Amino acid sequence: MKYEKICNNIDDTKVLAEKFAELIKDNGCFVTLYGEIGAGKTAFVKLVADALGVKEKVTSPSFVILNEYHTAQIPVYHFDLYRLENEGVKTILDELKEYSEGHQATFVEWAEFSNDEIPFNHIKINVVYVDDDLRKYSFEGFGDYNNKIVEGLAE
Ligand X SMILES: Nc1ncnc2c1ncn2[C@@H]1O[C@H](COP(=O)(O)OP(=O)(O)O)[C@@H](O)[C@H]1O
Pick from 3, 34, 41, 79 the residue near ligand X by CB under 6 A.
41
Buried b (16+ CB within 10 A) or exposed e, 4-28: ebebeeeebbbebbeebbebbbeeb
Interface positions, 115-134, toward ligand X (CB under 6 A): 127, 133
Span of 2-10, 51-59, 112-120, 143-151 interacting with ligand X by CB under 6 A:
2-10
Pick from 58, 122, 135, 150 the residue near ligand X by CB under 6 A.
135
**Least Å distance between CB 106 and ligand X?**
16
Mode of pairing for the β-strands spanning 105-109 and 123-131: unpaired
Return the number of the residue (63 or 132) whose C-beta is nearest Mg ion: 63
Site of interaction with ligand X (CB under 6 A)? 7, 9-10, 12-13, 35, 37-43, 60, 127, 133, 135
